[in-house]
Amino acid sequence: MNQPDALERFRLTGRTALITGAGRNIGAAIASGYAQAGADLLLVDRDKEAVEDVAESIRASTGRVVATVHRDVGAADIVDQVAGAAEAHFDAVDILVNGALAFGATGTHSADVSTAQWQDALDVNVLAPARLSSLFVNTLVKGGPGTIINLLSGAGFAPVPLAAPYSMSKAALWMLTRCFAKDCAPRIRVNGLCPGTISPDGVARTEELRKATPMGRGGRADEVVGAAIYLASDASGYSTGDVVYVNGGFTGLTGYSDEIIGSDPVGRPRTGRRSAG
């Protein structure tokens, strides 16, 4: 029986990917990986300078078409902004990666989180992926097959002390992933990608977190790219409503303890600060 070349199934040649939170860290690494695999890109981030730097670097190194949108994904007009950019630069969009995130608040007891802080996490982590996924399915794909990848978090599977908005919203994003997967199959596949603690050099932020991770270190953004390419490509053609973990064995084995959170700078008090958008 003739079968397609195994490695060729991972290629993204001729496809276009829309990636939010693309100005840094995991989003930027996925954008670069997709371009190297053959995809053109529409990158969204509220940080204009950061996302333009990523776009220019990818254009120079791969020659791919890279368009950008400078907007907070939690904004009410994000769908109009993205739709306009997609129409101006591409015939269709085949891949959507919802990568932007907001913490809402950390270092705050659940009972003390303000309505605005709950809403901040919901706007970016749940409502933006819902709006963009609807746009993708109904308009951007143009009737063809497509795939949506939502960046999840271990916080969505086990509650993180003093980070209730983030945990709550990431749990909701996992359910959103499953709902879209069920409703949109078989034309559109929808999966979750769950990274662990990611740093530029793969060093865990604290010694407590390192000890709690079976791999004994943090992860690097480039170590998430392979799973992102798999989920976007024909290689994962029978996967929908699934989640791929790239977290050093952390989720499901240890969970987040008060000791780990207390030692981690990310768990210190903050309000409304988003890491990407």
Please report, for the domain that includes residue 216, its CATH number.
3.40.50.720
Question: How many domains does one find in the chain?
Answer: 1
Q: Which residue has the higher pLDDT, 78 or 275?
A: 78
* pLDDT given for residue 207 in this prediction: 85
Query: Which residue is catalytic, options 166, 230, 245, 256?
Result: 166
Q: What is the pTM of this model?
A: 0.90
Between helix 164-184 and helix 115-122 the angle, nearest 10°, is 40
5 within a domain of the structure (yes/no): no
**pLDDT on residue 205:** 81
Q: How far apart are CA 92 and CA 103, in angstroms?
A: 32
Q: What is the pLDDT of residue 253?
A: 45
Whether residue 21 lies inside any domain: the answer is yes
In a domain, 49, yes or no: yes
- DSSP string of 20-51, one letter each residue: ESTTSHHHHHHHHHHHHTT-EEEEEES-HHHH
List strands edge to edge, sheet with 40-45. Answer: 66-70, 40-45, 16-20, 95-98, 146-151, 188-195, 243-246
Is position 230 annotated as part of the catalytic site?
no
The answer to whether residue 1 sits within a structural domain is: no
Total residues found in the chain within this entry: 277
Distance (Å, whole) CA 147 – CA 16? 11
pLDDT of residue 276: 46
In a domain, residue 187? The reply is yes
Q: Is residue 4 part of a domain?
A: no
Query: Tens of pLDDT along 156-214?
Result: 988 888 899 999 999 999 999 999 999 999 999 999 999 988 988 888 888 888 888 88
The amino acid occupying position 276 is A
Q: For tokens 């705050």, what's the residue?
A: 108
Radius of gyration of the chain from Cα atoms? 18
Instruction: Indicate whether 277 belongs to any domain.
Output: no
pLDDT, the chain, mean:
91
